[in-house]
Chains A and B, each alone.
Chain A
Amino acid sequence: GENVEQHPSTLSVQEGDSAVIKCTYSDSASNYFPWYKQELGKRPQLIIDIRSNVGEKKDQRIAVTLNKTAKHFSLHITETQPEDSAVYFCAASTWSNTGNQFYFGTGTSLTVIP
């Protein structure tokens, strides 16, 4: 099955700096890569996603890049703000004859220091 690795597990940045979180995956059949933000005590919520036919996607201060050859994808947050502090999860999704499966990384705890 798919194996998703995520690094770093914790990340502290000064407000206004950029944050980068990296994930690798093992199954070349994976074709959809969402990123989720989870605040303390809340559910994971989608912040951005990318499909395998796209190399980069941006949404305001958030961007995701995908390198299919190397099987890695990254989340970039620019001009970080204290409200960006949360746990971020990457995921890789594969569609098979048994359904749409999602495999998650172990999470990155981001702290933005005011």
Chain B
Amino acid sequence: NAGVTQTPKFQVLKTGQSMTLQCAQDMNHNSMYWYRQDPGMGLRLIYYSASEGTTDKGEVPNGYNVSRLNKREFSLRLESAAPSQTSVYFCASSQGAGNTIYFGEGSWLTVV
């Protein structure tokens, strides 16, 4: 039981390049999330998926797209990376109402 697994752990991109962060959970959770974490700003929600087949924007969705591929997998895509997207990205999942959220190990992304 690995929990929430995300890849890659580290990535350096040049401005304008694209990439996809992959996330998978093996806890049979309905809801999945992508957060970014910047110093002094806590965890900010980029996109979330309440259930398979649905996705919704969070607080900071600009510059990102997501795909809920199936119940287990939720990917985050940067189409044209910008230095402002340098951050630590966390994927997370939750069973639903009144249940906690579990995080992956994080992906450190640097855009130069």
- A interface residue numbers (CB < 8 A to B): 1, 6, 9, 31-32, 34, 42-46, 49, 51, 89, 91, 93, 95, 98-107
Q: Digit string of B67-109 for contact with A (CB within 8 Å is 1, else 0)? A: 0000000000000000000000010001011111111111000
Contacts of A9 in B (CB 8 A): 40
Whether the pair B48, A104 counts as a contact (CB closer than 8 A) is no
Give every chain B residue within 8 A of A105 (Cβ-Cβ).
42
Knowing A32-B98, A44-B103, say if A99 contacts B51 (CB, 8 Å). yes
Nearest CB to that of A43 among chain B residues? Answer: B103
Complex contact A102–B40 (CB within 8 A): no
CB pair A107–B42 under 8 Å, yes or no, is yes
* A99 pairs with B98, CB closer than 8 A: no
9 A-B pairs whose Cβ atoms sit less than 8 Å apart in the complex: A32-B97, A43-B103, A89-B43, A95-B96, A98-B50, A100-B98, A102-B94, A105-B42, A106-B40
In the complex with contacts A43-B90, A46-B100, A101-B43 CB distance below 8 A? no
